[in-house]
Amino acid sequence: MTIQLNERALRVGTRASALARTQSGQIADAITAGTGRETVLVTVSTEGDTNPAPVAQLGSTGVFVSALRDALLAGHVDVAVHSLKDLPTAPADGVALAAIPVREDPRDVVVARDGLTLGELVPGSKVGTGSPRRVAQLEALGLGIDLVGVRGNVDTRIGKVRSGELDAVVLARAGLARLGRLDEITEVLDPIQVLPAPGQGALAIECRAADTDLVALLAGALDDPHTRAAVTCERTVLAELEAGCSAPVGALADVVEGEDGPGSPPELWIRAVASSLDGAVAVRRSASGPYAEPVELGRKLAAEMIADGAHDVMLPPVLDQPSSPGTIEASS
């Protein structure tokens, strides 16, 4: 079934936060520039916005996504814009992932008092993050910092540093870039230390699967093949590990030059980590493979991680059986 597009403005669904509205506005402008279609933003409230509990305790994946998808399927909006790292890995009936635009820098960053880096904070300093993935990998660095759960938008989180309630917060660089606030960053974390969430820095543009003309229009105007290949590989690892978007799993894939040099087909190189919640043990692996086979490469890497004990590592720590910090690391 094909639904013919008329010339009314495309309604772009967005969450209410400043970051969500900013990135959705940027996508709306890109749609207009790439297709000539006018757009209008429509704000949708999601469970992740209204429930103050830590994301890991909300009991489901997609807490920032489902309300936007419901609005899409009900016909209240024509396009939904998500942070890709919030998107469940399982497909949604009736919804098409029409485009994944060029990705922002996916790394995590620190915003700390007095321009400090994590390594310059004294032991016992309070560092805010709401992500089990970040907690696990930061704990593994052994810096002696006190990791504190924090929710809220960028202003709220950075405000806790400015007020002295926290000494630092850890955020995604991509969000600060889209908000024009890169000058507030005091350290960019190397992925060797802290791997980002699968899909971090990328946006997902969804529409109704039945709107085939709109799917093609958005794909032609916005989709970036290199970004799609990289995040597909990362999210395949997450799916194969049977881990949700708040699990202590990091992954980062890059499109790199083929082994035969310039002119040869590009390849994908991916690194991934599955950590215990306390950061005491981690399974790390890396792999490379054909650029055109991101799903196969992700499945291969995940299978190797599972064989190395990734599922056991991600279980909650047993408190009466202390363990020493360690890492299981290999590459293929």
Average pLDDT (283-306) is 97
Of the two residues 64 and 11, the one the predictor is more confident about is 11
Tokens representing residue 145 in the block: 């910092």
Domain 10-100+202-223 architecture: 3-Layer(aba) Sandwich (3.40)
* Rounded-to-integer distance, Cα 264 and Cα 267, Å: 9
Residue 57 has pLDDT above 70, yes or no: no
pLDDT of residue 126: 98
Determine how β-strand 108-112 pairs with β-strand 187-188: antiparallel
Residue 243's pLDDT is: 76
> What pLDDT does residue 49 have?
47
Cα dihedral value 113, 117, 120, 121, nearest 10:
50
The whole-model pTM stands at: 0.87
- pLDDT of the residue at 48: 47
For the chain, give the mean pLDDT.
Answer: 88
pLDDT for res 211: 97
Question: CA 324, CA 169: separation in Å to the nearest integer?
Answer: 27
Task: Calculate helix-pair angle for 294-307, 225-240, nearest 10 degrees.
Answer: 30
Alpha-carbon dihedral 207, 210, 214, 218, rounded to 10 degrees: 50
- pLDDT (mean) for 214-229: 97
Task: Tell me if the domain spanning 230-331 has CATH number 3.30.160.40.
Answer: yes
> Above 50 in pLDDT, residue 50?
no
Query: Which residues carry out catalysis?
Result: 85-86, 133-134, 151, 157, 245
The residues spanned by each domain of the chain are: 10-100+202-223, 108-188, 230-331
Tens of pLDDT, residues 34-44: 999 999 999 99
pLDDT for 261 equals 76
Q: Which fold has domain 108-188?
A: D-Maltodextrin-Binding Protein; domain 2 (3.40.190)
Closest CA to 203 of 45, 36, 10, 68: 68
pLDDT digits (tens, 9 = 90+) for 75-116: 999 999 999 999 999 999 999 999 999 999 999 999 999 999
Q: CA–CA separation, 159 vs 329, rounded Å?
A: 38
Q: Is the pLDDT confidence value at 290 over 50?
A: yes
Q: Which residue has the higher pLDDT, 57 or 178?
A: 178
Instruction: Tell me the backbone φ, ψ of residue 108, rounded to 5 degrees.
Output: -85, 155
Question: Tens of pLDDT along 145-203?
Answer: 999 999 889 999 999 999 999 999 999 999 999 999 999 999 999 999 999 999 999 99
Bridge-based pairing state of the strands 79-83 and 203-208:
antiparallel
Fold match between domain 10-100+202-223 and domain 108-188: yes
